Amino acid sequence: MSQVDGMRLTVLVDDFKNQLQSELAAKHGLSFFIELKAGGHTTNLLMDTGPSADIVMQNAQKLGIELRKVDSIVLSHGHYDHTGGLLGILKHIGRKVPVIAHPGALEPKFVMKKKRLKKAGIPFQASELKKSGGILILKRGQTSIMPGVLVSGEIKRTSQLERVKGFKTTKGGKLVDDHMIDDQALFVTVRSKGSVIITGCAHAGLINTIKQAQKATGSKRVHAVIGGFHLANASAKRIGATVGELQRAGVKAIMPCHCTGEKAIAKFIEVFGEKCRQLRTGDVVSL
13: CATH? 3.60.15.10
Which of 232, 231, 198 lies closest to 76, judged by CA? 198
Q: Give the chain's mean pLDDT.
A: 95
Task: Return the DSSP state at 104.
Answer: G
Asked if residue 243 is part of any domain, the answer here is: yes
Asked if residue 207 is part of any domain, the answer here is: yes
Cα–Cα distance between 143 and 140 in angstroms, integer? 9
Domain containing 27 equals 6-286
What's the number of domains the chain is made of?
Answer: 1
Asked if residue 94 is part of any domain, the answer here is: yes
Cα–Cα distance between 221 and 143 in angstroms, integer? 21
Which of 220, 226, 39, 45 lies closest to 149, judged by CA? 45
Cα–Cα distance between 55 and 57 in angstroms, integer? 6
> Quick count: other Cβ atoms within 10 Å of Cβ 115?
5
Q: What is the pLDDT, as a whole number, of residue 174?
A: 92
Residue 18 has pLDDT above 90, yes or no: no
Task: Return the DSSP state at 17.
Answer: B
41 contacts: CB under 8 Å, gap ≥ 6: none
Asked if residue 103 is part of any domain, the answer here is: yes
pTM comes to 0.97
Asked if residue 260 is part of any domain, the answer here is: yes
Q: What is the mean pLDDT of residues 141-167?
A: 95
Asked if residue 112 is part of any domain, the answer here is: yes
- Backbone φ and ψ for 250, nearest 5 degrees, come out as 65, 35
Asked if residue 282 is part of any domain, the answer here is: yes
Torsion of CA 68, 70, 71, 72, to 10 degrees: -130
Secondary structure element (H or E) that encloses residue 134, with its range: strand 134-138
With a pLDDT cut of 70, the percent of the chain lying above it is 100
Q: What is the pLDDT, as a whole number, of residue 279?
A: 98
Asked if residue 1 is part of any domain, the answer here is: no
Q: What is the pLDDT, as a whole number, of residue 154?
A: 97
Q: How confident is the model at residue 136 (pLDDT cuts 50, 70, 90)?
A: very high
- Backbone φ and ψ for 13, nearest 5 degrees, come out as -145, 135
Residue 210 has pLDDT above 70, yes or no: yes
Cα–Cα distance between 157 and 145 in angstroms, integer? 24
